[in-house]
């Protein structure tokens, strides 16, 4: 089964908010970092935000700073993405991912080890 499961996506009006959640499914693991990516039709998978689980350091794509906030739970088995002031350009499938390595570049999709199946976010004006 898919090791990570996202939820919280859906249809929202422009200017609205959604909170995405991601949790381990069917197994436990220790993530060095976790991230959120998105992919629109015909586009490459794009970095959105990441968090280093041990210290809580966060990283954001320039395009979402001030709009999106990433956070993790205490055991670091889940990660969340609070999305505010949504616009139609944010429409995409959003994926969470886990990096199991001590050294990685969290903005690069290829550096992640585990992925969820994605959750659709659709923003309408």
Give the model's pLDDT for residue 48: 98
Residue 74 CB partners (closer than 8 Å, separation 6+): none
Interval 42-92: pLDDT, tens:
999 999 999 998 888 999 999 999 999 999 875 667 899 999 999 999 999
Residue 43 burial by Cβ neighbours in a 10 Å radius (0-12, 13-18, 19+): exposed
Residue 31: the pLDDT is 85
Query: What is the average pLDDT across 12-21?
Result: 98
Listed in order, strand segments (DSSP E) in the chain are 4-7, 10-13, 18-24, 33-39, 46-52, 57-60, 68-72, 78-83, 92-99, 114-115, 119-124
Q: How many residues does the chain have?
A: 125
The pLDDT value given to residue 74: 56
d(CA 80, CA 72): 6
**Token code pair at residue 59:** 């990283």
């Amino acid at each position: 089964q898919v090791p990570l499961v996202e939820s919280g996506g859906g249809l929202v009006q422009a200017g609205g908010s959604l909170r995405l959640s991601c949790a381990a499914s069917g197994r436990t693991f220790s993530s060095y970092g976790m991230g959120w990516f998105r992919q629109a039709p015909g586009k490459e998978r794009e970095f959105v935000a990441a968090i280093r689980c041990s210290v809580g350091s966060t990283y954001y794509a320039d395009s979402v700073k001030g709009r999106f906030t990433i956070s993790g739970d205490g055991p670091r088995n889940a990660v969340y993405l609070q999305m505010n002031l949504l616009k139609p350009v944010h429409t995409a499938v959003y994926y969470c991912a886990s990096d199991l390595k001590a050294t990685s570049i969290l903005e690069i999709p290829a550096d992640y080890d585990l992925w969820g199946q994605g959750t659709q976010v659709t923003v309408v004006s």
